[in-house]
Structure 1
């Protein structure tokens, strides 16, 4: 499937989870929706996995 270019948030590396959340929240707000943190877990490797969800 193909999506309009601005339908997907920009891909970037983030220093912190907070920086990522701020950036996707700003991106979403300009399009009329919001993100929330659905789940956050720490894997066996010690790396976090965070699942975000939007209200649309």
Structure 2
């Protein structure tokens, strides 16, 4: 039996800045984090971030 080890999560380097969550008054970009890491967990955090922005802005 051969054992192979690998990194479970890749190292992510940000070469380009991520877009902002708030694009304009009343306009939000939920997928702002998708260019960095596209996982269910990061999308859930991004959705919560936008929901907090909407709640704070109203």
TM-score band by shorter chain is 0.3 to 0.5
TM-score (norm 1): 0.34
Larger Rg: 2
Higher RCO (CA < 8 A, seq sep 6+): 2
TM-score (norm 2): 0.34
